Amino acid sequence: MLAKSLTAKGVTPNAISAFSVVAAAGGGLAFLAAGNGSLDWKGGWLAGAACIQLRLICNLMDGMVAIEGGKKSPTGDLWNELPDRFADTILLACAAWAVGSPWVGALAAWASVMTAYVRASGAALVGTHDFCGPFAKPQRMAALTVAALVTAAEPLWKGHGQVMKIAIMIIAAGTCVTIIRRVMRLSAKLKEARP
């Protein structure tokens, strides 16, 4: 229904993809504002979690509008991929920065980009995308959303960012494992394809 409404209003898939970065930026700013006290702790983390979901809805809608609405463009594949890299980086880095773990956030952000790079390389080399986990984009964003929601509730037990610190470490480690798995699976496919 939403996809049909967007199509009817003339919204392009590329515009929806671009808006996903705006949503991610809003989430990142909400995390940072909660972390530095310029926004209520609970409100900031809840707003950030909502922005993650808005970003994911954009990811879903751009494809639906492109395919079901017949609005696929020559640059659609580029716009389907590139905004995701910005959105992942913004959300992970800002969430980590907000709780005083910028280097872990930087690692998580780097790893998220690398998972996409390995997947894209695999598609170029063997013709198929490998979306294996354990921390592909949906799992990363689900973990970040849950962590943000729990972080919003931390004042109930006098916590202040510990949940998010642990979550970002898990996301960073899990995403690195995902990179290794994808590289190994791609390597195996290349060996199988060799005559």
- Evaluate whether the domain defined by 2-193 bears CATH number 3.20.170.30: no
pLDDT in tens, 118-166: 999 999 999 999 999 999 999 999 999 999 999 999 999 999 999 999 9
Q: Say if CB 152 and CB 46 are below 8 A apart.
A: yes
Task: List the chain domain ranges.
Answer: 2-193
Model's pTM, two decimal places? 0.95
Question: Can you tell me the distance from the alpha carbon of 60 to that of 78, in angstroms, rounded to the nearest whole number?
Answer: 15
Residues of the chain with pLDDT under 70: 195
Q: Supply the pLDDT for residue 67.
A: 82
